[in-house]
Structure 1
Amino acid sequence: MILLRELRMERGVHQAQVADWIGKTPSAWTKVEAGKSPLQFETFVRVCFSFQVQPSTVMATAERYAALLRQHKWAVLATELDLNEDGLLRYAQEYWASPGCRNSLPNPWGAPSVLNGPLYNPDNTITLASAIRYALDANFRAAQLNNQVLPGNALQPEALY
């Protein structure tokens, strides 16, 4: 779900537009994005096709992020969790509500798509979806909560320790 919301935000699409594409009410789609309603497979496929993205592309991205999260001592489960038990979704929602996220501007140079991540850079940094970087990088998290701008958009290796 986090990747679909990051993709929606990356493309500048409103929640109501996604809801219209897939034949749901805006409130029903908002509940799915918030983790209050499960994302059904049929809905997942329809959302992907609405964004003109193959579902397998989103799943491959999710697998790459799951591997990265496991490397950093996160448990990645394939079961449905209660909203209070899903630490990554909790961090993502906190990020999306943060002043830094709300006041962020699109990158005029064109940042890589969330679907290309995580990107391992030659300088040993990792370019991540912002919501996932928020969960892993305490410096980025503090900056977003304080509406500060950090140089670069990549996770520094030392930020994890």
Structure 2
Amino acid sequence: MYYDNSRPIFAFSTMCMILLRECRHERRASVELIADRLNVPSSTWEKAEAALIDFDFNLFCRACDVMQLAPSWVIHIGERYVAILRDSGWDVLFTKPKEVGRDDMLRKAKDFWKTDVGQGYLRESSIMVEPDLIRNVAAPLFRYALDPSYQELLDNPIAVSPGFSPTFSDRAEQGSMRSPSDPTFE
């Protein structure tokens, strides 16, 4: 197994599980629901999604079936992101990440999942849309991993006052747009 330790690395099996976790999240399915359909304990599915246990191809295929995904499509999307990440200086490993001691994509994914976008707010597109950097089509998770300015934007969102509207020039104009349910509504 050869890899450059100075470059970001990830395991392909982690990529597949990250894609499944994102699909589950997009479908707003709970860990418990997926685990129940797979007939495994919730803790097993949580560990599988977090790449804390060895990749189980059978479990992967069954989870794809539960989420109505073709395993070959998930692998295809994973391969497309592998090509993009390799072009951006990442090394992909087709081995267990535990043998390397780190998985930088999993670390980035965990950071991404703490952001508003990572938690499901403001999602632009499905994780399973084929990426195309020429047309600027990439799932937010991978934009987060590849684009430092996008990562900075998600990690430090700009706070917007609930009373602010860029449409009006002063507060008096903004105040005239109060809701009839507002007790001070005129």
Q: Name the TM-score class by shorter chain.
A: 0.7 to 0.9
What TM-score does the superposition give when structure 2 sets the normalisation length? 0.69
TM-score relative to the length of structure 1: 0.79
Matched ranges for 1:8-157 at <5 A:
8-82=24-98, 84-102=101-119, 104-106=121-123, 111=125, 113-120=126-133, 124-148=134-158
SS of match in other structure, 2:92: coil
Residues 99-142 of structure 1: per-residue CA shift (max 9 Å, x gap): 442362455xxx3x32222134xxx4422222221111111111
Give the counterpart letter for 1:115 in structure 2: M
Larger radius of gyration: 2
Secondary structure in 1 aligned to 2:91? coil
Separation of aligned partners in 1, 2:40 and 2:33? 10
C-alpha spacing 1:78/1:103, structure 2 compared with 1 (3 Å): closer
Task: Say if 2:108 and 2:145, in contact at 8 Å, map to a contact too.
Answer: yes
What is the DSSP-based 3-state SS (H/G/I as helix, E as strand, rest coil) of the residue aligned with 1:89? helix
Counterpart of 1:75, as a letter, is: D
Indicate how the Cα distance of structure 1 residues 141 and 19 shifts in structure 2: closer, same or farther if over 3 A, else same.
Answer: same
Q: Higher helix proportion, which one?
A: 1
In 1, are the aligned partners of 2:38 and 2:63 still within 8 Å (CA)? yes
Q: Which moved more, 1:78-87 or 1:45-54?
A: 78-87
Alpha-carbon distance in structure 1 between the residues aligned to 2:101 and 2:58: 25
CA RMSD of aligned residues (A): 2.1
Residues 1:4 and 1:86: Cα distance change in structure 2 (over 3 Å): same
Q: CA deviation at 1:58?
A: 0.6
Distance 2:76 2:147 in 1: 23
Change (3 A) 1:5 1:34: same
Letter in 2 for 1:118: P
Number of residues of Structure 1 aligned to a counterpart in Structure 2: 142
How has the CA–CA distance of structure 1 residues 148 and 140 changed in structure 2, closer, same or farther, with 3 Å as cutoff?
farther
Q: Is residue 100–residue 145 contact of structure 1 (8 Å, CA) maintained in 2?
A: no
Instruction: Verify the 8 A CA contact 2:64 2:70 in the aligned structure 1.
Output: yes
Structure with larger RCO (C-alpha < 8 A, sep 6+):
2
Gaps of 5+ in 2: 1-16, 160-186
Per-residue deviation, 1:148: 4.3
CA distance in 2, matches of 1:50, 1:71: 33
